Structure 1
Amino acid sequence: MNHAIVVQGLRKKFGHHEVLHGLDFTIDAGTVFGVIGPNGAGKTTTMRCLLDIIRPSAGTISVLGEDPRYGGPALRRRIGYLPGELHLENRTTGRRVVEHFSAISGPVDSRHVDALADRLNLDLDRQTRKLSKGNKQKLGLLQAFMHRPELLILDEPTSGLDPLVQQEVHAMVREAVAEGGTVFLSSHVLSEVQQAADSVAILRDGGIVTTSTVEALRDAALRKLRFRVAGAEAHDVGALLARVPGVANVAIRDVPGDSAGALEATATLSGNVQPLVRELARINLTDLVLDEPDLEEAVLTLYTEASPAPARNEVRHV
C-alpha cells in the first residue's frame, strides 16, 4: 500500500524547550489516521510541521511523496487543511472567503461548494463577524473539503459543532476516503477518533505512547466482570478464574442475606472472552454481567505512569 505520510524522528524545539520528541509514524493512503491526546500533547505542532507552517528541528517528513519544505504551492493544492484556530476577516462574507481560498486551491466547482454548505447548514452570504463559533468551524471545514484534496489534515474538526453536524462531518470524511483520499485528524475526544479513524496514535507530552488500530485498542481494554454462583466454595471459584487468561483484580464475597450461601465475584478481563465463557459453563451461575470494554479508560491509562498490576491469580475473599 502507498504511504500518504511518512514521519521519522520528528523533533521540534522552541528555544530550549523540545515539544516533539522523535515521532515516528506512517499513514497509508486511503485511510483515516487519528491522533488523540490532551491539550498540549503536540498534535497541532505535528500538523504544522507536516504542512511546513513551521520547520522541524530534526527528522524527515514525506507528504504525498514529497518533502513539504520543497513542495511549494503545487503540493499545498493537493491538501485540505482545517486549523485548530481559524482566523477570518470580519468585514466579508462566507462566500468571499470561499472565493479567496478557491483562488489558492485551484478550480472549485461552485455547485459542490453549495452542496457542502447545504449539508453543513451554513449560510455563505452572512457576514463572518456575525457567525457563531460553530458556523465559523463549518466555513473552515467547507474550505478544506471543497477542492476534493488528496489529503485532508483536520485539527479538532468537530469542535463547536452540534451532534447532528458532527455526524455529517464524519460522513464527509468517509466519502473522502471512499474517493481515494487520506485523512489525518486530531482530537482530544476519544469517541470522535473511535468513530472516524482506522488507526490511531496516542500522543502524550510530545511523544507517541502507542500506535494501533481502534479495534486492537478495544481488544486490549479492560472489561468489568460480575457474576453470582450458587453451591460453590470461594476457593473453587478463585481457582476457576485463575485459569482464565487476562483475568485480574478478582474479589469474591458472600451475598448478604442469601440463605443458600451464594457467592458474588468481581474481576476485570482483558482480551478474548471465550476462555472465560468456557470456564463459567462449569459452574451454576445465577447472574452474569460483562461490561463492554471501556476504551476511554484504556486510553487514559496510557496517559498515566504504569503501575504494577495485581497478580492474575491473586484472589480476595471479602
Structure 2
Amino acid sequence: MSVIELKNLTKFYGSQRGIENVSFNVEQGEVLGFIGPNGAGKSTTIRTLLALIHPTSGSASIFGKDCIKEAAEIAKDVGYLPSETAYYDNMTVRELVGYAADLYGKNFDDKIAELSKRLNLDLSRKIADLSLGNKKKVGIVCALLHSPKLIILDEPTSGLDPLVQQEFFDILKEENAKGATIFFSSHVLSEVQKICDRVAIVKDGKIIGIKKISELRANSHKKISVAADVIPDGHFDMQGVTNYKQEGKSATFMYMGNVADVLKKMSALNVYDVFIEEPTLEEIFMHYYK
C-alpha cells in the first residue's frame, strides 16, 4: 500500500520553477530518502504534500486521501519537521510542546518526557534562549509526540551535534519498527544512507532517479588505490578507468567494470598495498548530476 503517491506534481511560482512533473510512491513502512542540493525542489514538494502551498497541476495523496481537499484529516497522522522553525519566543519549551500536544486532543506527557530525556532537551527553558540545535530538538519532539503513522522530515539534522544526531536516528528506526513510514529529505547524503531503503534523486525540480541504495552502490564505480614498486606509464589505460592520478609509486582511480580485469592488471605489478572501496553516496550523487 502506498502511503504517499505523487502524480505529475508541478508547482510554479509565477514564471519560476518549483517542481515539475514529480511522480513517485512511498510504500507503507518504507524509509525513503529525498535527496538533492538546496534549490532542487525538495521543500516545495514537501510543502505541497502538506497543503502549505497548492500545486499548479498534478496530484498528491497521503493515506489515499487528497493532500489538498483532505489536508485536515491527513494531518492527524502526520508528523512534520520543517527545515527552519519559528516558535513563540516567550513560551517555555514545556508550554510549546504542550500546546502542540493539545492540537491532537490527547495526553502525550509520557512521550514528551521520553523524547526530551533522550534528546537532552530542557523543558523549562524559554524558546528565546535556545540555540539552533535545541530549537531543532523542540521540532523533533513536536513532530513525534503523537507517534504519527507518517513522519516527514525536511533537513532534520541541521544544528544537531553528532551524538544527538545518532540518538535521533535511533528514535527514527524505533518508530519505523513500530510501523511508521518515513520521508527523509536531505542534502547531507551520508545521513540518508544510514537509515533509508530507497532514494529519490531530484534535480532542477525533476526526479532523475529512484533507486535502492544497494542498487546505487552495485551499479556505480569502485574507488581503487594501489601502491607498487613500479607502475609503468599507461599501465591502467583500460576501459572503465576514470579520474586516474599517479604520484610516484602510488595510483588512484575510479573504476566501473569487472573487478577481475583490474586485478589482473595489478597482478603484473609488484603490489605492496591496495584499497578497493565503495564510493560514498555523495560521489554516487555527483555521478547522477553530471
Q: 1:124 to 1:252 in 2, by over 3 A?
A: closer
Within 5 Å, which residues of 2 pair with 1:69-108? 69-108=68-107
Corresponding residue SS for 2:146: coil
State the shift of 1:266 in Å: 5.1
Name the CA distance, whole Å, in 2 between partners of 1:194 and 1:280. Answer: 32
Give the equivalent residue in structure 2 for 1:292.
278
Tell me if the contact between 2:150 and 2:182 (Cα under 8 Å) persists in the aligned partners: yes
- Which structure 2 residues correspond to residues 35-54 of structure 1 after superposition, within 5 A? 35-54=34-53
Three-state SS of the structure 2 residue aligned to 1:138 is helix
The structure-2 alpha-carbon separation of the partners of 1:125 and 1:285, relative to structure 1 and needing over 3 Å to count, comes to same
- In structure 2, the CA distance between the partners of 1:266 and 1:111, relative to structure 1 (3 Å rule), is closer
Q: Tell me the CA shift for residue 58 of structure 1.
A: 0.7
Q: Secondary structure in 1 aligned to 2:173?
A: helix
Contact 1:4 1:64 in 2 (8 A): yes
> TM-score, structure 2 length as denominator?
0.90
| Distance change >3 Å, CA 228–CA 123, structure 1 → 2 | closer
Query: Could you say which residue in structure 1 is the equivalent of 2:240?
Result: 247
Give the 3-state SS of the residue equivalent to 1:105 in structure 2: coil
Which sections of structure 1, spanning at least 5 residues, go unmatched? 257-262, 307-318
The CA RMSD measured in Å over matched residues stands at: 2.6
Q: Give the residue type in structure 2 aligned to 1:299.
A: F
Given that 1:91 and 1:127 are in contact with CA atoms closer than 8 Å, whether structure 2 keeps it comes out as yes
CA 1:280–1:89 in structure 2 vs 1: closer, same or farther (change >3 Å)?
same
Contact preservation (8 Å) 2:230, 2:270: no
Q: CA, structure 1 residues 29+272, in 2 after alignment: closer, same or farther (shift >3 Å)?
A: farther
How far the C-alpha of 1:106 sits from its partner, in A, is 3.5
Is the alpha carbon distance of 1:250 and 1:155 closer, same or farther for their aligned partners in structure 2, counting shifts above 3 Å?
closer
Cα offsets for 1:15-63 (capped at 9, x unmatched): 1222111111111110111111111111111001111111111111111
The alignment status of 1:270 with 2:269, answered yes or no, reads: no
Q: Choose 1 or 2 for highest CA Rg.
A: 1
* Paired position in structure 2 for 1:283: 268
2:34 and 2:184 in contact (8 A); partners too: yes
> Identity of counterpart residues, as a percentage?
37
Offset at 1:83? 1.2
Aligned twin of 1:211? 210
Does 2:283 align with 1:302? no
AA partner of residue 248 (structure 1): V
For residues 111 and 300 of structure 1, do their structure 2 counterparts lie closer, same or farther at Cα, with a shift above 3 Å needed?
same
- Of 197-206 and 43-52, more deviation after overlay is shown by 197-206
Q: Which moved more, 1:49-58 or 1:285-294?
A: 285-294
Distance 1:39 1:62 in 2: 25
How far off its partner does 1:224 sit?
Answer: 2.9
Label 1:68 to 1:252 Cα distance change in 2 as closer, same or farther (>3 A): closer
**Residues 266, 158 of structure 1: CA spacing in aligned structure 2 closer, same or farther, 3 A cutoff?**
closer
Q: How many Å separate the matches in 2 of 1:195 and 1:115?
A: 23
- Alpha-carbon distance between aligned partners in 2 of 1:67 and 1:143, rounded to the nearest angstrom: 24
Q: Secondary structure at the match of 2:19?
A: strand
Q: Which runs of 5+ in 2 are unaligned?
A: none
Farther-moved stretch of structure 1 (147-156 vs 215-224): 215-224
Q: Partner residue of 2:180?
A: 181
Given the two structures, how large is their TM-score scaled by the length of structure 1? 0.82
Please state how far the C-alpha of 1:209 moved relative to its aligned partner: 2.0
The structure-2 alpha-carbon separation of the partners of 1:117 and 1:231, relative to structure 1 and needing over 3 Å to count, comes to closer
Contact 1:27 1:33 in 2 (8 A): yes
Farther-moved stretch of structure 1 (66-75 vs 53-62): 66-75
- Cα distance between partner residues in 2 of 1:250 and 1:202: 24
Partner of 2:67: 68
Distance between the aligned counterparts of 1:292 and 1:112, measured in 2? Answer: 39
1: CA distance between counterparts of 2:245 and 2:173?
Answer: 46
8 Å CA contact 1:151, 1:182 repeated in 2: yes
SS of the equivalent of 1:73 reads helix
Letter in 2 for 1:130: D
Residues in 1 aligned to 2:203 and 2:161: alpha-carbon distance in whole angstroms: 27
Q: How far off is 1:111 after superposition? A: 1.1
CA distance in 2: counterparts of 1:232 and 1:165, whole angstroms: 46
Deviation at 1:159, TM superposition (A): 0.8
Quickly say closer, same or farther: Cα 1:286–1:108, change in 2 above 3 A.
same
SS at match of 1:34: strand
